[in-house]
Amino acid sequence: MDINPEIEMPDPLELFSFTCGRFVANEEQELAQRYREFNFNELARRAARAVQADRCLSIEKLPDGLYNRILLLTMDNGKEVVAKIPNPNAGRPHFTIASEVATMKFAREVLRTNLPQVYDWSSRAQDTPVGAEFILMEKVHGVELQQLWPKMTTEERWEVVKAVAAYQESWASVTFEQYGSLYFAEDFEGENIPALVYTNEKGERVEDSRFVIGPSTSREMFDMGRCGIDFDRGPWNSLEEYHAAIGHRELACVQHLPSLQPSPLTLRGPGLYQPTREKKIAALETYLKLLEYVLPADRSLGSSHLWHDALHAGNIFVDPDNPGQIVGIIDWQSTGVSPLHFHIHQPSFIKHAGPQLHGLERPVWPPGYDNLKADAMRAADALFWDQTLCALYRTLIYHRIPKIFKCFDFQKSAPSSLLLSAVRLSIDGEAVYLYTACELEKEWENLPGAQGVSFPLTFTITERQKIYEDAISAVVGNKGGTF
């Protein structure tokens, strides 16, 4: 089994390299993090063997992602295989691919999610003649939603929204007892890691010896030089442990990385906010002091779930003849078993640029709609139907998955903001974080988790003024924004 020598192959350097764009900063380093050599003949042999073919006829390089090389291999029996090869920046060797494959199997078989079948894989580059980690999977026979969405009717779009909500209902119905990432049990052979335990949609406690919860493979555990820093990567047995580990992880990064990572969001220059290790440490120590009081009082919002956190139109494939039907969801890399309130957000493919609706608010036509000029009327129509999809999604969630709707409410609160923004404090956000924490004192007595407890932080007048000034200059540096 081999590649047909008569078939034109892409240039090997192109196969190994990131070729989908340029980087405006640190391009040499960024390209090096996306360069991966491998033996494409051995990859072709493994792919052919996986689908009972004699020969691979061609290898086509598909558009690069930021973290993986994606190839389409066509066989002499007509079958097509998608090969996914992680770049050096994709995550920790072994763990990232091992968890992705286990996650896909669980999501496919237990959560009943349409996604590609995995034919073959290796998470240990040194154990395969391919010379790199890889996943070989079926090609989804559909079209990316982003290709059809602009031409779809509102009714077809609504069918997609309902299908996504149905998946989210399935994902919300299965609750885990730990937080981390999912793996096969054999990935930790010889280690004392308990079998996976979860509660299914019937409320039954299930022990599945095929799987375990192991260290998290989230991007925050690896990106920006974090792979070499020693901190707790999980798994964690409680919501408190999970959130405390975030603070200790960010502290370890601030204290031990050779230099502070520049914020990708905030400008730095004369008159603008200047981050320091001391300010970041102060924000993280504040987070750890507040943590027990800002966790959601309704602990169902912090229950542990497996979730696809990137439901954008490039990861959802639909039937071209029936665009309302989802035939596959791709890209399960770095998917975590995490608190529900961290997972929940409105699917990105129904987001729009106009005014946003909140709660169960419904769209309305603008005043004087009938007197609008043609262009303005078309814009009003587009906004109304965009808002309608969002309103229908929220209403559906409210009735079918109440705890997801409660997460949307929780996310509007200061406690939620303090939990979520702590995830990247070693990189960005410490100035506004300290300001938000300082302002929390004004609503402290109304927080469910702080009843009968005095505000645990103290600030002098001078400290409060400096916190306010830092927050203002940081926000101004963030594309000239304001409070």
Which residue segments constitute the domains of the chain, with CATH numbers given? 12-139 (3.30.200.20), 181-214 (no CATH)
Q: What is the pLDDT of residue 354?
A: 87
pLDDT at 2: 55
Cα–Cα distances (Å) from 29 to 23, 68, 87, 253, 449, in that order, read 10, 16, 13, 20, 45
Record the pTM: 0.94
pLDDT of residue 1: 47
CA distance 280 to 434: 9
- Would you give the end-to-end CA distance of the chain in angstroms? 63
Residues 6+ apart with CB under 8 A from 4: 55, 56, 57, 58, 76
Q: Residues of 454-465 as b/e, b for ≥16 C-beta within 10 angstroms?
A: ebeeebeeeeee
Contact, 226 vs 232, CB < 8 A? no
Rounded average pLDDT per 10-residue block, the chain, 483 residues: 59 90 89 94 96 95 94 97 97 97 99 98 97 98 96 96 98 98 94 95 98 97 90 98 98 94 78 91 98 96 98 97 97 97 95 92 94 95 95 98 97 96 94 96 91 93 95 81 53
pLDDT at 412: 94
Q: Which of 311, 337, 301, 289 is nearest to 413 (CA)?
A: 301
C-alpha to C-alpha distance for 298 and 237, rounded to whole angstroms:
18
Report the distance separating Cα 265 and Cα 477, nearest Å: 8
Residues in contact with 416: Cβ distance below 8 Å, sequence separation at least 6, in sequence order: 294, 296, 341, 410
Q: What local confidence, expressed as pLDDT, does residue 4 receive?
A: 63
Distance (Å) of CA 181 to CA 184, 252, 333:
10, 21, 10
